[in-house]
Amino acid sequence: MTPDTSPPRIVVAGGIGSGKSTVGRLLAERGVWVIDADRIGHEVLTDPAVAEAVEGRWPEVVVDGVVDRARLASIVFVDADDLRRLEAITHPAIREGILEEAARHPGEPVAVELPLMPEWFGVGWTVWVVDADTDTRMERVLARGSASEDVVARMAAQPTRELWLEAADHVISNDGDLVDLAAAVDKAWRSLDP
């Protein structure tokens, strides 16, 4: 049997404030093409068809065809049904955008920073879950200027820690400092044998 020599495909998943973006930066320093799913999600909301679908459900968050993301977030992160409706509108386009961008880098290692469960990705993708305790995550997000009630609502809307860990091929603990995180990323990277 011929060994698989294709470049690594990594999903860097985890809850808000876990350190996905920092892991993404560390991977980029190693030559990995990093795709930010949040960026693609923001781009998807600028698509006129998506904005129209959002306006059909939440007319108060769209002005002149532009989705007010903060206002939309204030609605969907406190109501699970609204969040599911938004995901039904946006997730197909986000997934397509991620996979299209990954396909543009066939000879390179690729990582996706994903604040969602990684079920979109199948064979050929390795799931790294960045894990940190709730207090640490809360402190990090508050330090970025978010209001505590917004952080609590977003955390409550995300999968539980147990679900994240079940989805992981590799868990990267991020309760320490940047040196510890870099060492954990190095260990996970070496396990891929790229």
Task: Quick: pLDDT tens for 170-186.
Answer: 999 999 999 999 999 99
Which pLDDT value is given to residue 2?
46
- Give the pLDDT confidence of 101-151 residue by residue, as tens digits: 999 999 899 999 988 777 777 778 899 999 999 889 888 888 888 778 888
* pLDDT higher than 60, residue 194: no
What is the DSSP annotation of the chain?
-PPP-SPPEEEEE--TTSSHHHHHHHHHTTT-EEEEHHHHHHHHTTSHHHHHHHHHH-GGGEETTEE-HHHHHHHHTT-HHHHHHHHHHHHHHHHHHHHHHHHT-TTS-EEEEESS-STT--TT-EEEEEE--HHHHHHHHHHTT--HHHHHHHHHHSPPHHHHHHH-SEEEE-SS-HHHHHHHHHHHHHHH--
User: Average pLDDT, stretch 141-164?
Assistant: 84
Mean pLDDT computed over 50-63: 95
**Amino acid 5: pLDDT:** 65
At residue 1 the predicted structure's pLDDT band, cuts being 50, 70 and 90, is very low
Mean pLDDT of the chain: 90
Q: What is the pLDDT of residues 63-106, one digit of tens each?
A: 999 999 999 999 998 898 999 999 999 999 999 999 999 999 99
Q: What is the CATH number of domain 9-189?
A: 3.40.50.300
How high is the pLDDT of residue 4? 55
